[in-house]
């Protein structure tokens, strides 16, 4: 399965150190070599980079390692394909717009035979269970809230949706709209909390 890196900070923070170590797991210190990606918010804007090459071999990953990334919310993903071919369109994180904001999603897990009925404007480009899950989440958020909900309301809705998706298989994810970062683990959740001295 894939690996996830998420960062949520109260001030724009440098992610280069964490990303450099994380990227090594994409083909050097681990066998996750089916693509990678990173998305980071700058205000309401978003920078999004993906590549179907292993992170340790990717010239795009090298660019990111040298780029002075400072952001409050970052999501990175290293892929080990369980569903969908190794291709650019299947690399996480995925991005969609809802309520005039970018939303970023990355998934670790395997949702067996998960192909929900998608009847809104959220459609997958690739053929992964992950992107189908993201489109379904965005669709259900839009159906559940006519206007922009509070972080607390979003958290309650996402908790319900995550429980429903976890019934389909392993479902670990990171999701951000630039204001908050949500994580869910149907397996074990590991995190590091760093504080300024």
- Does the annotation mark 2 as catalytic? yes
Picking from 164, 175, 167, the residue whose alpha carbon sits closest to that of residue 77 is 175
Q: Give residue 144's pLDDT.
A: 94
Q: Give residue 41's pLDDT.
A: 96
Q: Give residue 133's pLDDT.
A: 94
Torsion angles phi and psi, residue 129, rounded to 5: -65, -30
pLDDT per residue, tens digit, the chain (197 aa), is: 667 889 999 999 888 877 777 776 655 555 666 788 899 999 999 999 998 887 778 888 888 888 888 999 999 888 666 666 777 888 889 999 999 999 999 988 788 878 888 987 899 999 888 899 999 999 999 999 989 999 999 999 999 999 998 888 888 899 999 999 999 988 776 666 666 54
Q: Give residue 108's pLDDT.
A: 84
Q: Is the peptide bond before 93 cis (omega within 30 degrees of 0)?
A: yes
Q: Give residue 81's pLDDT.
A: 65
Q: Please list, in sequence order, all residues whose beta carbon lies within 8 angstroms of the beta carbon of residue 117, skipping any fewer than 6 positions away.
A: none
Q: Give residue 197's pLDDT.
A: 43
- Which is the catalytic residue, given 2, 9, 91, 135? 2
This prediction's pTM: 0.88
Q: Give residue 19's pLDDT.
A: 76
Give the chain's domains with CATH numbers: 3-184 (3.60.20.10)
**∠ CA 172-173-174 to the nearest 5 degrees?**
150
């Amino acid at each position: 399965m894939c690996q996830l890196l998420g960062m949520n900070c109260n001030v724009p923070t440098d992610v280069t150190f964490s990303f450099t170590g994380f990227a090594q797991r994409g083909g050097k210190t681990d066998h996750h070599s089916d693509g990678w990606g990173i998305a980071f918010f700058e205000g309401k804007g978003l920078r999004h980079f993906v590549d179907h090459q292993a992170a340790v071999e990717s010239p795009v990953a090298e660019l990111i390692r040298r780029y002075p990334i400072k952001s409050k919310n970052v999501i990175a993903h290293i892929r080990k394909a369980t569903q969908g071919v190794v291709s650019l369109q299947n690399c996480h994180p995925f991005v969609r717009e809802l309520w005039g904001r970018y939303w970023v999603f990355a998934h670790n897990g395997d949702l067996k035979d998960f192909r929900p009925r998608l009847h809104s404007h959220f459609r997958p480009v690739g053929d992964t269970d992950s992107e189908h899950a993201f489109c379904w989440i965005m669709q259900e958020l839009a159906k559940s809230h006519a206007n922009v909900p509070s972080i607390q309301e979003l958290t309650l809705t996402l908790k319900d949706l995550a429980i429903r998706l976890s019934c389909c298989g392993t479902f670990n994810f990171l999701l951000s709209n630039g204001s908050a970062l949500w994580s869910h683990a149907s397996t074990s959740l590991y995190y590091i909390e760093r504080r300024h001295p």
